[in-house]
Amino acid sequence: MANSIGQRLRATRKKQRVPKKTPTRRKVQHPTRRDAERLLQKAAEETQEIMKTELESERIPAEIWGLRFR
């Protein structure tokens, strides 16, 4: 009789909860040093162009511009 009780307990035992897998994170593509340098160069050129057009519209002498933004 004792044996059968043990078997019955084993049969009705609760299953252990399996922890959920965390979703795998996507790899972020960070810009390489070369990319960063190229972007910086492009940004610098664009700002210079903007400054030039602003100066032309305001009629500030180019010498001041050269001294200020070198």
Position 25 in a domain: no
**Gyration radius of the chain's alpha carbons:** 35
Our count of domains for the chain comes to: 1
Position 54 in a domain: yes
Mean pLDDT of the chain: 76
Position 19 in a domain: no
Position 10 in a domain: no
Identity of the amino acid at 60? I
Contact 39, 31 (CB under 8 A): yes
Span 13-23, mean pLDDT? 78
Top pLDDT among 57 and 21 is at 21
Top pLDDT among 1 and 44 is at 44
pLDDT over threshold 80, residue 60: no
Q: Is the pTM of this model over 0.75?
A: no
Structural domain range at position 43: 34-70
pLDDT over threshold 60, residue 63: yes
pLDDT over threshold 70, residue 38: yes
Distances (CA, A) of 45 to 31, 40, 42, 57, 70: 20, 9, 5, 19, 13
Cα–Cα distance for residue pair 48/40, rounded to 1 Å? 12
